[in-house]
Structure 1
């Protein structure tokens, strides 16, 4: 072998070794970058799945009691370490409590009008952190005694002499809707009493303290065989939208947002429609 050939062979060997070293270094660098990206991705994922804790306080219309109680339990099960507490009642009463300073995270009202009492509050207590969003709708129905002994078949039948009928107060969404239906039918009804929320009106019939009440379909359904429901066409002109919103001074805003998301999710909507609510 000539001197030139030996020198060329050594050059090729050295060059080959250098290329191999560079490839190995490149692979290590690439692997390190991938590992770094993976670690960064894992950290981001862990951050987005932050554990929720604490109590979520929800003020909700009385007609939401059964379905929201179910959703509250579902939420607690999905997020161990959280607790959902509810204050159910007439929407106007709840709105007054919120603007009066009662601590709450979420408000779910039975009408846009009562939600506006809170949402439009600019100074002091009240106000919403998110724009109110309609999540369900509800329609009126007549609740009578089991078996409908007074043969109530229409809204007009509630004006019969001697029939003891109760309505929600006109300031409450169910009362305002009932009055709208009566006005549309050009009917005048003097009730035995005006109740502060829909559950109170229904209870009068359940306890046989009244012959009939104008309530929501969801309440008739929740009462089971304690009452009998009678539909009436005028109710179609008095359907209530139910808005929900995160409150401005929510003590537990992060968990509250997740509860609202559950209410609006397919899972939440399934619970609500099963209770008799209409989709928004």
Structure 2
């Protein structure tokens, strides 16, 4: 079976798993809805929730946000997706948010060191790198070493971003040196360069290759096992809606939330 055929089947399985999990989350009984509980039970989950999350979580968290709003009528989840380092800087700079989901413990530490976390961060998924090439892999890229070939236009995430730090770790483990044509501020930016055919390849996450469907081709490389990223999530200290924020984190870490995330290609923590 060709890599393209395997990717098509994988995309179908991903879509099916995410849809099934979303339906399961949406089909909550009134007994599970805090809004239908007595006043003596847990606080009612309502209002707006603002979640700052790594760019690689965009598709999965959007699905979970829709499920959350259906489970808790009257809630609204607003996301800010981007490079984890930039999001962390915004939080420590005073940007109002309820939840932070980072693509690495290092960027989460920016927030915890600044005393802006209300709880201890919990790892909820892990993610592994993959090479994204043009559809059909016309340059016959089969390894990380192939990216060092002369004339090949390769894009990496910025070294301060978790996907860029992971890529550099994989390169160092292989003893390889690579000079990309550009460094992008987040993983979606790196992937877009390939999708627009402005680059021949990019080192991104497997989840982003999955989400891109037929726009790119994915190439596994063994060195990626040396640079798997843990993703921590935390309730922020000055969360405007701490009750709903805790409920969202619970959803992310729940079995149904994990089905959505693993269906997108994330690894279990």
Quick check: TM above 0.5? yes
* TM value normalised by structure 2: 0.86
Report what 2:33 is aligned to: none
> What is the match of residue 220 of structure 2?
231
Which deviations, in whole Å up to 9, do the C-alpha atoms of 1:11-57 show, x marking residues without a partner? xxxxxxxxxxxxxxxxxxxxxxxxxxxxxxxxx95421543221000
Higher relative contact order (CA 8 A, sep 6+): 2
Counterpart in 2 of 1:56?
Answer: 49
Instruction: Please name the residue that 1:36 is paired with.
Output: none
Partner Cα distance (1:120, 1:67) in 2: 28
Measure the CA separation in 2 of the matches of 1:51 and 1:80. Answer: 11
1:198 maps to which residue? 187
Q: Does 1:162 align with 2:126?
A: no
Q: Name the SS for the 2:151 alignment partner.
A: coil
Structure 1 segments, 4+ long, off by >2 Å, are: 44-47
Structure 2 Cα separation of the partners of residues 47 and 93 of structure 1: 41
Q: Measure how far apart 1:264 and its partner are.
A: 0.2
What is the 5 A alignment of 1:103-114? 103-114=96-107
Report the TM-score when normalising by structure 1. Answer: 0.82
Root-mean-square deviation (Å)? 1.2
Q: Which runs of 5+ in 2 are unaligned?
A: 1-36
Partner Cα distance (1:231, 1:187) in 2: 17
Provide the rounded CA distance (Å) in 2 between the counterparts of 1:59 and 1:273. 20
- Structure 1 residue 105, shift from structure 2 partner: 0.2
1:8-87 aligned at under 5 Å gives the runs 45-87=38-80
Distance in 2 between residues matched to 1:70 and 1:48, nearest whole Å: 28
Give ranges in structure 1 of 5+ residues lacking alignment.
1-43
The answer to whether the 8 A contact 2:43-2:243 is kept is no
2:255 paired residue number:
266
- Cα deviation digits, residues 206-237 of structure 1 (max 9, x gap): 00000000000000000000000000000000
**Distance in 2 separating the partners of 1:118 and 1:81:** 29
Q: Which residue of 1 aligns with 2:201?
A: 212
Rg larger in 1 or in 2? 1
C-alpha distance in 1 between matches for 2:121 and 2:44: 26
Q: How big is the shift at 1:157?
A: 0.1
- Aligned counterparts of 1:90 and 1:210: Cα–Cα separation in 2: 20
| SS of structure 2 residue aligned to 1:69 | helix
Report the number of matched residues.
Answer: 234
